[in-house]
Structure 1
Amino acid sequence: MTTALITGATAGIGAAFTRRLAANGHNLVLVARDTARLRSQATELHDRHGVEVEVLTADLSQDTGIEAVENRLSDPRNPVDLLVNNAGFGNKGSFLDVSLADELTMLKVHCEAVLRLTTAATGPMRERGRGGVVNVASVAAFVPRGTYGASKAWVVQFTQGAARDLAGSGVRLMALCPGFVRTEFHQRAGMGTENIPGWMWLDADKLVSEALTDLARGKTVSIPDPRYKALMGVVKLAPRGLLGGVTSRTGRKYGPK
């Protein structure tokens, strides 16, 4: 039986990945900061699906937290077959309104942790000749969105480059770029969502189903839902200056996740 490790596993897209993977018969390693919530989730998934579920409390904004997950991914006795780098957050406010410390923490979680965990996972995967990594980015990667969008653009570019370098090894890498998803993401960041049209909201479980299908097909970038595929097609054709004006008016606080 294969094992999947999911960061940011207790809510939103991460929790949707745990539900789908457990239903598909994967053993799980759940990573988040809230131990009590992790244990409750692990018990529910085990009882419902009969899979083995480990919990690993780790704060990926800290070196100790990243190291703990690196060590689990590198354990040859308990190999991880699928890594989902989902942990992330948003900062409310525009550039210079958000503290530099908060911006650096975002880069730590969105970029450094993704780099280090992907490295820790893919080395053993390449030796075994199989495995997969899903790095959760955002459609915000394709428009000017300050540090959040820039960090997600890095995730997309890094994942595509690593996928190219590992082509033919049996290891698949994919950047998942969702739009607005009804999760705890915006609430935790204190972000309002009243200005977001209803049609832009995605269902987390359906999104994960589409993402896993894209991974199996060998895609390196997944933009779930035809609406966002079409929207990103328009974005590619729009002048960068126009996009900058639109995103500055809507505000960084509405960055998709």
Structure 2
Amino acid sequence: MGRPVALITGATSGLGAEFAQQLGRAQHDLVLVGRDVDRLEVKAVRLRNDFGIDVDVLPADLITDDGVATVAARLADPAVPVSVLVNNAGFSLVKAFEKNTVQDEAEHLRILAQTPMELTHAVLPGMLERGNGRIINVSSVSAFIPRGTYGAAKAWGLSFSRFANLRYSPRGVKVTAICPGFVHTEFHERMGADMGGVKPWMWLEVGQVVREGLAANAAGKAVSIPSRRYRVLMGLAKLVPDGLAAAAGNRGR
């Protein structure tokens, strides 16, 4: 019997790269999805050498219909079934909603909500037929607070994961939304955000976020909030006014 296959979007850096590392170490063959072919190839070579696994590179722009269709086709291929889907690709917009173009906001919503929905829809029938599968949607603590359209899109992923886990886990498919806070990745640098005001204790390491998320998914939990401090903060967020919660998390992941 062959190794299980995990497909990871946004796999070139940050959480996506760490998912590839930890799943590769656990002897999953990998499909790495991203836009930067050169970085994908470099990552693939390293993973093959480190873990002795098969690693395929699948270049795709998940903001486009063609890009999503390419990845969806791979997910639906019964010849090489995917056992684990990690919907990680995404970005955030720095400017306020009214200062962004509609096109910017549409692409933002596409990558954070529509694309994970389409990819989940593509992989789910095969998983249900086999009676086994794991789907991880990278959400954010922003999903719990009114934090712009980023938080709104991530809230969709959180709600969708809760629904999907409730509906499909009895049939062997576990669905989990991972909701980190500030994480040491390239995420904020790419969006051009000034993170100088974030307290050191609020930062998480990618290894912890992925490790806790994979463990929560394996246990069949619909939501993973990495670290005790963020679980406490999100519990408190339910008790304070929306304005205060939004201000506290205004620049979070």
Q: Identity over the aligned pairs, expressed in percent?
A: 46
Correspondences of 1:44-55 after superposition (within 5 Å): 44-55=46-57
Mapped pair 1:4 → 2:45:
no
Structure 1 residue 122, shift from structure 2 partner: 1.2
Residue 237 (1) aligns with residue 239 (2): yes
**Where does residue 61 of structure 1 map in the other structure?**
63
TM-score (normalizing by structure 2): 0.97
Given the alignment, which residue of 134, 143, 160 partners 1:141?
143
Give the equivalent residue in structure 1 for 2:222: 220
- Structure 2 distance, partners of 1:41, 1:171, is 28
Amino acid at match of 1:203: E
- SS of the aligned residue for 1:96 comes to helix
CA distance in 2, matches of 1:38, 1:95: 32
Q: Secondary structure at the match of 2:78?
A: coil
Q: Give the structure 2 partner of residue 104 of structure 1.
A: 106
8 Å Cα contact 1:10-1:32 kept in structure 2: yes
The offset of 1:94, in angstroms, is 1.4
Report what 2:169 is aligned to: 167
1:97 shift after superposition: 1.7
Quick check: 2:161–2:175 contact (8 Å CA) kept in 1? Answer: yes
* Aligned 8 A contact 1:118 1:133 in 2: yes
CA contact (8 A) 2:169 2:175 kept: no
The residue correspondences of 1:151-190 to structure 2 (distance < 5 A) are 151-190=153-192
Alignment coverage as a number of residue pairs: 251
Aligned to 1:200: 202
Aligned residues of 2:139 and 2:177 also touching (Cα < 8 A): yes
Contact map agreement 1:148 1:255 (CA 8 A) in 2: no
1:138 is aligned with what amino acid? Answer: S
* TM norm structure 1: 0.95
Counterpart in the other structure of 2:18:
16
Q: Report the AA paired with residue 193 of structure 1.
A: M
**Partner amino acid, structure 2, of 1:114:** P
Aligned-pair distance for 1:243? 2.6
**Which residue is equivalent to 2:193?**
191
Contact 2:157 2:177 in 1 (8 A): yes
